[in-house]
Structures are given as structure tokens and as C-alpha cells.
């Protein structure tokens, strides 16, 4: 039964995007533009590198009028964190939930680096010492300082898991409880410019509701 359902979806997508149907199949696919496929105007698919996923994601954030909820394993891209900060300043409710693993590692690296500094003027050395961790600390600090609600995952509170093995590996955004962006894409320059990544934008209330319920569950028990 599952196989039949899977093949039906594949067949539906094939019919929904024929090369000669300009309403459903975007010709920019050939040109490797950011926008790739839009099926019935509710589902859009994007790939990196070379598809400007950062811009697509920021544009998605800018559609919010009420709320943005983010569950993300890794965030080092300052352009994306700045877009979240701007949304917060514009009165949008913004909540961010991150993994603890990268944070713990970066805390150790960053603190060791700061111990070598006599004052804040040598923080650039920390930047060159560990670029990824410096960016991670900076964007987390900037978001917290702006007033954004931000939780770090704590698997010690999770039920029936080995906490030292567990990570928060989700990558999704919910906008206005109506639309979802999800995929392999972490919020980093490396994901945008070098990695082979993907995300999909789904504008569907039922799908958004399921993601919202999961996010709210995390928020109650980080």
C-alpha cells in the first residue's frame, strides 16, 4: 500500500511539472536560479550550492506577520540571524531552539581563547582561532541581546534517551503557523556556498500545525 502511495506522489509530481507547462514548471531550473519548482503554488523545492538559499530563506522570514518559530541544529550565518532580529524588532514573535552540542564545544573553545586575551581588543584572534565557533557565539549573543527568546536543547531532560548521545538535529522554520521551511540546510555560509543541501517550503495549514505541535513540545521541555 505504501509503495502504491509513493508511486502515486511521484507520478503526480511528474504530471504537475511538464517542461511545456509554463504555469507549473519554471524554466529557471535550467538556469540554476534560486526558485526551482512550484507544485500547485503550495510547495517549492530548493537546492544548494549556487541557488542562493540564504536569500530564499530570508525572503521566507520576511513574509511573517505574526510569528516565526525556528528549530535549528547549527546557526552561524549572521545575515539570517540579523533577519530574525529585524523581525523581532518589527513586532514579530520570534522563538529559536538550537542544539546543545555545538554550543558546548564552542563555549570551551571561546573561553580558552578569551583566557589568552588581556582585553576584548584581541577577540579577532579568537575569530581566526576558530571561525565557526566565533560566528556561533556571536549570532547567539546578538539574538539573545535583541530580546529574542532562545533555548538550547538539554537532552538530560528528555525521556528514554541516552543524553550524551542525543542531539537536536531538526532544521525547520514555521511562519505564522501557516507555512513551513524544512530540509538538510543549516544556517551557515558553508551550507549555502559549498555543501549539497536542500530545503522545501510547504504552505499548508495541516502540515504547519504538525510542525507547530512538535516545536511547542520542544519549547515546554527543551
Query: Domains in the chain, start-ordered, CATH in brackets?
Result: 34-102+132-220 (3.30.870.10)
Q: How far apart are CA 85 and CA 146, in angstroms?
A: 6
Instruction: List the one residue out of 78, 51, 88 whose CA is nearest residue 183.
Output: 51
Consecutive 10-residue averages of pLDDT for the chain (222 residues)? 45 44 38 48 86 92 98 90 97 93 61 67 59 71 93 86 85 97 90 89 96 95 84
Q: If DSSP codes are grouped into helix, strand and coil, which group holds residue 33? A: coil
Q: How far apart are CA 201 and CA 204, in angstroms?
A: 9
In this prediction, residue 133 carries a pLDDT of 66
In this prediction, residue 15 carries a pLDDT of 45
In this prediction, residue 164 carries a pLDDT of 75
CB atoms within 10 A of CB 66: 11
Burial 164-198, CB ≥16 within 10 A → b, else e: eebebebbbbbbeebbbbbbebbbbbebbeebebb
Amino acid at each position: 500500500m505504501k509503495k502504491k502511495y509513493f508511486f502515486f506522489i511521484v507520478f503526480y509530481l511528474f504530471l504537475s511539472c511538464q517542461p511545456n507547462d509554463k504555469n507549473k514548471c519554471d524554466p529557471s531550473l535550467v538556469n540554476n536560479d534560486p526558485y526551482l519548482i512550484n507544485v500547485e503554488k503550495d510547495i517549492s523545492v530548493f537546492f544548494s550550492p549556487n541557488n542562493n538559499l540564504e536569500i530564499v530563506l530570508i525572503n521566507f522570514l520576511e513574509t511573517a506577520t505574526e510569528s516565526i518559530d525556528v528549530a535549528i541544529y547549527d546557526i552561524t550565518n549572521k545575515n539570517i540571524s540579523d533577519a530574525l532580529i529585524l523581525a523581532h524588532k518589527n513586532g514579530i514573535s520570534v522563538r529559536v531552539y538550537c542544539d546543545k552540542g555545538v554550543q558546548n564545544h564552542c563555549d570551551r573553545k571561546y573561553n580558552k581563547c578569551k583566557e589568552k586575551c588581556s582585553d576584548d581588543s584581541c577577540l579577532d584572534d579568537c575569530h581566526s582561532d576558530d571561525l565557526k565557533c566565533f560566528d556561533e557565539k556571536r549570532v547567539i549573543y546578538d539574538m539573545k541581546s535583541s530580546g529574542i527568546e532562545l533555548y538550547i536543547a538539554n537532552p538530560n531532560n528528555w525521556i528514554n534517551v541516552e543524553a550524551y548521545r542525543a542531539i537536536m538535529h531538526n532544521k525547520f522554520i514555521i511562519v505564522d503557523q501557516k507555512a513551513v521551511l524544512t530540509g538538510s540546510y543549516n544556517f551557515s555560509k558553508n551550507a549555502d556556498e559549498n555543501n549539497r543541501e536542500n530545503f522545501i517550503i510547504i504552505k499548508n495549514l495541516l502540515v504547519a500545525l504538525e510542525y507547530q505541535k512538535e516545536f511547542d513540545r520542544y519549547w515546554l521541555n527543551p
